[in-house]
Structure 1
Amino acid sequence: MLTRKQHELICFINDRLNETGVSPSFEEMKEALDLKSKSGVHRLISALEEREFIRRLPNRARALEVLRMPERGDAKVATPAKADKSTPRPSSLPSPANDVVEIPLHGRIAAGTPIEALEGSTMLPVPAALLGSGEHYALEVAGDSMVEAGIFDGDFALIRRTDVARDGEIVVALIDDSEATLKYFRKEGAMVRLDPANRSYDAQRYRPDQIRVQGKLAGLLRRY
C-alpha cells in the first residue's frame, strides 16, 4: 500500500509522462503535491523507487520511468492535476512549452585528434530533463576516442559551462586557445593529462598554461 502522497506523486508523474513524454521537475512535483520543500519530493521518489513503482533513468537528470501503477485497491486519491474533469482530453499530445529548451550549438568537437571548436549561432532544442542548473551549450562529437565512455561520432555533447574540473571528469578542454577536445581531465604532477576512452588512442599531456577548461559533460543526445 502506498501513502496518500506517494499515490498522488506517481499519478502526477504518470499523467505528465503520458501527456508530454518528459517527467516533471522536482519543483513542479513540489507544487503539485503542495509540499514545503523539494526534500519531501526526494523522499517520496526514493520510497516509490524502493517499492519498484518507478526507476530513475541513468545518465539523465531528473528522468523517471513508471514501472507499474498502484492497484485499484490502493488509496483512492485524485491526481493533483487541476484541469476541469468535464473537459475532454485532446486526442493529440500537446507540445510542452516548458519542457524543451534551446541551447547554442557550437560546431563540432573532436573526440579524437583535437580540431577547432567552431562558434555558431545555431540553436539545439533539448529536453529540459537532460540539463541541470547552470548555463549550457552543445557540441557535435567528431571521432571515436570516447566510445568506451558511450560517446560516439555524431552524438551531441551537452556541456555545462565551467572553467574548473576535478580529476576523472569529462571536459571540453581548449588547447593553446585554438583547438578543443572532449576528454577525461586528470592532473599528472605538474602537467595536465587528457585521457581518451579508447585503447587505440594515447593520452595527451600539456602544461597547465596550455589548457583552459570550457565546460563539463552534462548529457548526450543521439540521433538514430
Structure 2
Amino acid sequence: MPEPLGEFQRRMLEFIVNYIRREGMPPTNREIGKAMKIASTGHVDYHLSMLEKRGYIIREAKKSRGIKLTRHPWGIPVEGTIAAGEPIEIFSEPDQTIEVGHGVDPESSFALIVRGQSMIEDHICDGDYVVIKRQRTCENGDIVVAVHLVEGTPGKATLKRFFLEKEQVRLQPANAELEPIYIPRDEWDREWEIQGKVIAIVRHYGGSGRAA
C-alpha cells in the first residue's frame, strides 16, 4: 500500500493524474514545474522521486514523458453486486476498481454495483456504483448494506434504509411500489449484520464515472 502523502505532493500527484486523463500522456518535468510554480527542475525531480519511493509512480529513465502511475491513487475495490430489492448473494470482483475522490479512504471503503430499482427515490439506480464505508453500526435512516447470514455461503445482501423499531428492524426501500422488509429483533440479532453504509454514489455516463 502506498505511503500517505503531504499536501504538496498530493497536489502534484493530482496534477499528473488529471494531465494523463486529459492529454493521454504524462507531463514533462517542466510542465509539472510550471503548474506547481516550481522554478527548479531539480526540485520537481526531488518530489517525483518521493512519489516513486512511496509507490505512486514509476519513471522510465531518459524519457521526458516517462512517468507511469502504479495504480489510480484514489481507486477503491469493487467487491461485488448488491441487490436493491430482495437479498442476493454477494460475489467478489477483486481485479476491478473504481475512481473516487481523494477524500474517500481506500482502506476503509469499497464499492458495490447496484442491481434493481428499490432505491430509485433516493436516486440510486440499477447499474450505479455505491461507495460503502465499512462499519458494523449505523443510525436510523442510514442507507446500509444489510447481510442475511446464510450458513455455507457469503450471505445474501440488500441495500436499504435501516430503521430500528421497538420489536423489529425495518429495511425500507425507496420505491413506493415496494414493501419494506420486517425482521424480528431476535432474528436480526442472530442472522443479520451491517457491513457498511453508503457515503457516495457513482454513476457512469458513456463510460466515465461521476460521483453523485
Structure 1 equivalent of residue 122 of structure 2: 149
Residue identity in the other structure for 1:217:
V
4+ runs of 1 displaced by more than 4 Å? 15-22, 94-99
Structure 2 equivalent of residue 196 of structure 1: 173
SS in 2 for 1:206: strand
- Quick check: 2:128–2:202 contact (8 Å CA) kept in 1? yes
1:213 CA drift (Å): 0.1
- Quick check: 2:146–2:157 contact (8 Å CA) kept in 1? yes
Structure 2 equivalent of residue 137 of structure 1: 110
- Quick check: 1:99–1:127 contact (8 Å CA) kept in 2? no
Structure 2 equivalent of residue 82 of structure 1: 38
Structure holding more strand per residue: 2
Aligned length: 155
- Mapped to 1, the partners of 2:76 and 2:132 lie a distance apart of 10
After superposition, the CA RMSD in angstroms is: 3.5
Q: 1:95 to 1:222 in 2, by over 3 A?
A: farther
Task: Give unmatched runs, 5+ long, in structure 1.
Answer: 1-12, 23-78
Task: Give unmatched runs, 5+ long, in structure 2.
Answer: 1-10, 20-34, 45-64, 206-212
The CA deviation string for residues 133-168 of structure 1, in whole angstroms up to 9 with x for no partner, is 851111110001111111110011111111101101
- Mapped to 2, the partners of 1:133 and 1:122 lie a distance apart of 15
Correspondence for 1:164 among 105, 129, 137: 137
- Mapped to 2, the partners of 1:150 and 1:83 lie a distance apart of 47
Q: 1:219 to 1:95 in 2, by over 3 A?
A: farther
TM-score (norm 2): 0.59
SS in 2 for 1:148: helix
- Mapped to 2, the partners of 1:161 and 1:127 lie a distance apart of 16
TM-score (norm 1): 0.57
Structure 1 equivalent of residue 88 of structure 2: 115
- Mapped to 2, the partners of 1:83 and 1:204 lie a distance apart of 62
